[in-house]
């Protein structure tokens, strides 16, 4: 059902884009009703405006906390045009019907993010605006609600195309948007008050993007979030569900490294990774770790991609490359394949919590931010690691943290030489890693091992020593830790315990 807009209530914080809307509404003969600063803005454009106070017969009070909370305003919004009793009361109390409400809520989240005082934050909890939004959305059959600046452009297009009239479908669309805005706003306020108590879970996300499909073509997939906050896509096809999972795993991994580092991931696990003085050296060493699995992988670097590195990368078929920047000429080389996805990362991913749907509910946990340093590698054996072994143990521990459990990582000289991931036993994980390292021609003598969890028995220690591995890092905590330490001493190899487990299921 088409409805004509005759009167509009406007109370906004952001005014960019509003002038063009006001011009179209004024041309259509729409009457404006407004508050304070918005009223002054409307009048500065040369349009007459009725003050809210003229309808309520009350001034703005309590420091602006009470302006539109009045039956003269709420009644004009909520009155149902098709209900005889509602219209009788409209006439009895002299209410002015309002057909369009444009509101832009106080910037609560931005105020919190700015580090403002609690007093300032509390004053940015919008009361009148949220009431206007909910009231207008509830009465969408008769009223248009524009709940945020993000909706100005849509309203402008409607007014430009069809004048000051809207369809029921359009009003229902805006009502849906209104409840998305109000629910997100309330959730942000709750999270502020709840802080770290985690008494309830209130997650909201805008910008839902339908993907080509989920993990498999028969599954629907949607991404809710703002990729533009972290990345600019410079080239390539649209990102898929699996691309996004691998990108998060890749970025989380490389963020733990400060030295020039390149990593190659498949199915959320690193199949190649190396730290070197230059990015080209890091790429070459990372690719050598498993050139077979690297095919079709997701690549990530923590330094800008230079031209020489780009030329080498271009020789490999890969899905995605993520880097903080691309130097002159590098981008042109990498854009030679039309579907190759190139992402420029603006800032680190800093989510403090991670979430996973489970059993019809949600599991939530703090993000694993632990990164063990040399100082946290506590020797427990007669032989202590050399300085080079310690550096490799730190490197390997960073990698095993980001590998699917049960996980074992073998490293040497700042290079991932093999890993065993996602295994049902730690012995299986180690055997897989040893076999893989030998398959690609790596010399295990002098290599180090990192385990994501403790050794329940001494079998892994013995197997590692027999393969030539000379130093082991594990969290410790098993009732049989003494057996593993004794086995290491018997084979003359070093073992350190970190006290930190890195399970990743």
Decide if pLDDT at 200 tops 90: no
Q: How far is CA 460 from CA 123, 256, 403, 467, 484, in A?
A: 60, 27, 18, 11, 8
| pLDDT surpassing 80 at residue 438 | yes
The pLDDT tens digits for 67-81 are 777 888 889 899 998
User: What pLDDT shows up at residue 201?
Assistant: 83
Residues 6+ apart with CB under 8 A from 300: 247, 250, 251, 253, 254, 262, 263, 265, 321, 322, 323
- Does pLDDT of 64 surpass 80? no
Lowest model confidence (mean pLDDT) among 203-212, 260-269, 285-294, 355-364: 203-212
What is the predicted pLDDT for the residue at 36? 80
Q: Active-site residue 436, yes or no?
A: no
Average pLDDT value for residue range 36-46: 87
Interval 250-285: pLDDT, tens: 999 999 999 999 999 999 999 999 999 999 999 999
Q: What is the mean pLDDT of residues 423-429?
A: 94
CA pair distance 145, 164, nearest whole angstrom = 14
Q: What is the DSSP letter of 404?
A: P
Please tell me the pTM assigned to this model: 0.83
The pLDDT tens digits of the residues spanning 22-32 come to: 999 999 999 99
* Element of type H or E holding 193: helix 168-194
Annotated active-site residue in 15, 165, 267, 491: 267
* pLDDT tens digits, 383-403: 999 999 999 999 999 999 999
- The predicted pLDDT at position 68 comes to 78
- pLDDT confidence of residue 402: 94
Nearest 5°: CA angle at 194, between 193 and 195? 90
Q: Are 463 and 485 in contact (CB under 8 A)?
A: no
**Residue 62: DSSP 8-state:** G
Percent of the chain with pLDDT over 70: 100
DSSP calls for 235-284: ESSPPPHHHHHHHHHHHHHHTT--SSEEEEEETTEEEEEEE-SSHHHHHH
**pLDDT (0 to 100) of residue 26:** 93
Say how far apart CA 223 and CA 177 lie, in whole Å. 18
Pairing of strands 261-266, 297-301: antiparallel
Choose between 492 and 64: higher pLDDT: 492
pLDDT of 61 above 80 = no
Q: Is the peptide bond before 475 cis (omega within 30 degrees of 0)?
A: no
- Give the tens place of pLDDT for each residue, 335-351: 999 999 999 999 998 88
Angstrom distance (rounded) from CA 419 to CA 435 = 10
88-110 as b/e: b if 16+ CB within 10 A: eebeeeebbebbbbbbbbbebbe
The 10 Å Cβ neighbour count of residue 35 is 22
Q: Residue 380: what pLDDT? A: 96
Is 138 among the catalytic positions? yes
The string of pLDDT tens digits covering residues 78-131 is: 999 889 998 888 888 888 899 999 998 988 888 998 989 999 999 889 888 899
**Is residue 207 very low, low, confident or very high in pLDDT (cuts 50, 70, 90)?**
confident
| Low-confidence winner among 46-55, 160-169, 227-236, 247-256 (lowest mean pLDDT) | 46-55
Dist CA 324 CA 348 (whole Å): 10
Q: If you average pLDDT over every residue of the chain, what do you get?
A: 92
pLDDT digits (tens, 9 = 90+) for 155-179: 999 999 999 999 999 999 999 999 9
Name the catalytic one among 15, 70, 138, 173. 138
> φ, ψ for residue 223 (rounded to 5)?
-110, 125
Confidence of residue 151 (pLDDT cuts 50, 70, 90): very high
- pLDDT band (50, 70, 90) for residue 58: confident
- Alpha carbon distance 370, 400 (integer Å): 12
Q: What is the mean pLDDT of residues 208-224?
A: 92
pLDDT score of 73: 86
Q: Is 63 exposed, middle or buried (0-12, 13-18, 19+ CB in 10 A)?
A: exposed
Q: How many other C-beta atoms are found inside a 10 Å radius of the C-beta of residue 380?
A: 18
Helix/strand/coil for 300: strand
pLDDT of residue 204: 83
pLDDT band at 14 (very low <50, low <70, confident <90, very high): confident
Give SS3 for 214. coil
């Amino acid at each position: 059902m088409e409805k004509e807009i005759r009167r509009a209530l406007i109370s906004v914080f952001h005014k960019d884009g509003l002038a063009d809307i006001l011009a179209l509404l004024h041309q259509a003969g729409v009457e404006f009703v407004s508050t304070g600063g918005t009223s002054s803005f409307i009048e500065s454009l040369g349009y007459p405006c009725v003050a809210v106070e003229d309808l309520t017969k009350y001034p703005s009070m309590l420091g602006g906390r009470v302006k539109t909370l009045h039956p003269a305003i709420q009644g004009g919004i909520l009155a149902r045009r098709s209900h005889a009793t509602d219209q009788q009361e409209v006439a009895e109390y002299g209410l002015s019907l309002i057909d369009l409400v444009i509101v832009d809520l106080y910037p609560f989240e931005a105020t919190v993010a700015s580090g403002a005082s609690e007093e300032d934050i509390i004053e940015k909890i919008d009361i009148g605006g949220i009431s206007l939004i909910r009231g207008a959305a509830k009465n969408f059959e008769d009223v248009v609600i524009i709940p945020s600046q993000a909706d100005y452009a849509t309203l402008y297009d409607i007014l430009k195309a069809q004048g000051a009239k809207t369809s029921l479908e359009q009003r229902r669309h805006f009502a849906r948007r209104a409840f998305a805005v109000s629910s997100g706003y309330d959730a942000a306020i709750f999270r502020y008050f709840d802080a770290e108590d985690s008494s309830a879970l209130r997650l909201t996300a805008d910008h839902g993007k339908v993907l080509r499909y989920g993990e498999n073509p028969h599954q629907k997939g949607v991404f809710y979030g703002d990729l533009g906050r972290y990345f600019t896509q410079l080239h390539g096809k649209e990102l898929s569900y699996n691309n996004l999972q691998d990108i998060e795993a890749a970025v989380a991994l490389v963020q733990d490294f400060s030295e020039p580092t390149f990593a190659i991931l498949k199915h959320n696990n690193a199949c190649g990774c190396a730290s070197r003085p230059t990015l080209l050296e890091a790429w070459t060493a990372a690719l050598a770790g498993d050139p077979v699995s690297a095919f079709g992988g997701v690549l990530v670097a923590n330094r800008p991609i230079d031209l020489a590195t780009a030329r080498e990368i271009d020789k490999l078929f890969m899905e995605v490359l993520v880097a903080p920047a691309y130097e002159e000429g590098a981008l042109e080389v990498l854009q030679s394949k039309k579907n190759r996805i190139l992402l420029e990362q603006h800032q680190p991913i800093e989510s403090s919590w991670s979430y996973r749907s489970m059993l019809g509910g949600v599991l939530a946990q703090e993000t694993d931010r632990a990164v063990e340093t040399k100082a946290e590698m506590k020797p427990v054996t007669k032989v202590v690691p050399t300085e080079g072994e310690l550096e490799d143990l730190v490197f390997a521990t960073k990698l095993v943290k980001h590998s699917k459990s049960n996980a074992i990582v073998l490293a040497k000289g700042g290079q991932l030489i093999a890993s065993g991931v996602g295994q049902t036993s730690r012995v299986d994980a180690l055997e897989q890693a040893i076999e893989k390292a030998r398959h690609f021609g790596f010399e295990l003598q002098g290599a180090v091992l990192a385990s994501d969890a403790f050794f329940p028995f001494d079998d892994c220690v013995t197997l590692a020593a027999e393969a030539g591995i000379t130093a082991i890092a594990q969290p410790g905590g098993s009732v049989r830790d003494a057996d593993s330490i004794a086995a290491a001493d018997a084979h003359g190899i070093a073992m350190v315990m970190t006290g930190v487990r890195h399970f990743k299921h």
